Every structure is written in C-alpha cells, then in structure tokens.
Amino acid sequence: MPHCIVEHSSTIPNEELNQKVFKGALESQLFEADGSDIKVRSISYQHYQTGTKHEDFIHVTVRILSGRSDENKKKLSQSVLGQLKTLPLSQASLTVEIVDMDRSSYSKCLV
C-alpha cells in the first residue's frame, strides 16, 4: 500500500517527480523495505489556475489503509515533502495530503 497520486503542472517532468515521491514514501519506513507495495502515478495539467499567478505546483495525495496514527501520517507527509523540496524548482507550491482508505470497504485482487 500506499497509492501515491501526484498532480502537477505540465512543466515538471513526471519521471523524476515520481521517483522523488516513491523515495519519500520508502524513507518513511512505514511500508515494505523494498518498496514493493508503494504505487505512484502522476497526472500533469496544462490548464490550471493558482490564485492570481500562473505558478508551478505539485500536489501529492497519499492514500493509505485506515488505522495509522497521526504521528505516522505526519512522518509520511514530511518524508514525501522533503523529497519534493529537493527538486530544482522555484516559485512552486508543494503540498502533500494523507488520506485514509476505509479498510472494511477496500478490495484488492491480483490477476
């Protein structure tokens, strides 16, 4: 688990961004040590508005199964944000949100 969904302005390259998010999730030490359970996908936007200025942005939603402590959620959020801050960006908004997925209704199947 987690599902990391990265939304960002199209001027930011996907490949490096996905790797940074993966590394941040891995370094939180909340998931498998080899990262085999970390999923990252990204969506770039050409058309968006960021207040009154047209600035780059990255918003990461990390969906995890419910039951984690607030401390662990903060650790995960800070770890991912720390990796995003290493990207060579200026004048960009970086945000990370941790979202609980209800364990009782989550289903998974590998085919």
Instruction: Specify the pLDDT at position 53.
Output: 84
Instruction: Specify the pLDDT at position 111.
Output: 92
Instruction: Specify the pLDDT at position 50.
Output: 87
Q: Residue 15 belongs to what H/E stretch?
A: helix 14-27
Strand, coil or helix: what is 104? coil
Instruction: Specify the pLDDT at position 30.
Output: 96
Domain ranges of the chain: 3-101
- End-to-end, the C-alpha distance of the chain in Å comes to 17
CB 85 within 8 A of CB 94: yes
Instruction: Specify the pLDDT at position 92.
Output: 94
Going from the first residue of the chain to its last (111 residues), give the mean pLDDT of each consecutive group of 10, the final group possibly shorter.
96 94 97 96 94 92 96 98 96 96 91 92
Strand order in the sheet with 39-45: 39-45, 3-9, 56-65, 92-101
Average pLDDT, the chain: 95
For 91, half-sphere exposure in the C-beta direction (CA atoms, 13 angstrom radius) is 7
Rounded to two decimals, the pTM is 0.93
Residue 50 is given by DSSP the state B
- 3-101 CATH: 3.30.429.10
Instruction: Specify the pLDDT at position 51.
Output: 86
